[in-house]
Amino acid sequence: MHDEQAQLAADQEFAAAVAGGAPFDYDDTAVVPDLPPPGAPVMVVRPVRLPSDLDAAVKDLAARQGVTPSALIRGWVEAAVDDTTDPVTELRRSLDAAQRAANELTADRHRDAA
């Protein structure tokens, strides 16, 4: 956490210096990351505007299910697009969700008992 705060402070100091007109050098010798191999799945960023209360509800639901909001929304989109959902896959998803809910209830009971 301290490293993140130090990096954030350094980034903010750099941004302020550049915004103030300070020169900076571009390192064209830096290593360029490799592209994914041919045929690898490509993820596309699709911005979606949500009211803040709906966004908070999505984040809360995702946290309760133990997934990221992106993974939760991606699952919803996949389910809506895929009309031929395999019943076994759907059952596994339901069982996973039930297990996460049971784990959350168990954790809540332990917190309440403490």
Per residue in 89-104, pLDDT (tens digit) is 778 888 888 898 888 8
Measured distance between the N- and C-terminal CA atoms of the chain, rounded to whole angstroms: 28
Cα–Cα distance for residue pair 114/101, rounded to 1 Å: 20
Q: Which structure tokens are listed for 78?
A: 């996949």
- Closest by CA to 69, choosing from 83, 85, 80, 58, is 58
Which percentage of the chain shows pLDDT scores above 70?
96
Q: Is the entire prediction scored with pTM above 0.85?
A: no
DSSP 8-state class, residue 37: P
Amino acid at site 52: S
CB half-sphere exposure, 2, CA atoms < 13 A: 0
Taking only Cα atoms into account, the Rg of the chain, rounded to an integer number of angstroms, comes to 22
Which of 75, 70, 79, 66 shows the shortest CA–CA distance to 50? 70
Q: pLDDT tens for residues 56-92? A: 999 999 999 999 999 999 988 888 787 666 778 778 8
